Structure 1
């Protein structure tokens, strides 16, 4: 399963974060997932980070519960949020 949510960013207010629950036996490789998206989406849509989780919450209808996912990730800080911003 995979979902994209917005994470707080000091310059852009929010930037996308890709949340992934891997299948058993799969390995965590951020660059593989980001590389898959390269050229398929606009450059500014590219997630700033990939976070691997044990569980992605689903609602009663089987859809990803992004509200609960955002709540779980509310304290997450993007690696790019700490980088110095160009003037």
Structure 2
């Protein structure tokens, strides 16, 4: 909502609402691209933060499994940086 001066007074709603499964898949795809082959602990921390920031809940066992899988992926040109 905006006031008389056009200033936002409330948080802007998500412009493109997505189901939770699609959001989770997007997070995982991005982390795979960014962190393939990195240290598993670093990946785990990044996954926790991304899921927390998105408001999605994912259990620890699943986070560990994804971190392990991503750590085992071959790094690409971007994830080597």
Is the TM-score greater than 0.5? no
**What is the TM-score with the length of structure 2 in the denominator?**
0.29
**What is the TM-score with the length of structure 1 in the denominator?**
0.27
Q: Which has the higher helix share?
A: 2
Bigger-Rg structure (1/2): 2
Q: Which has the higher strand share?
A: 1
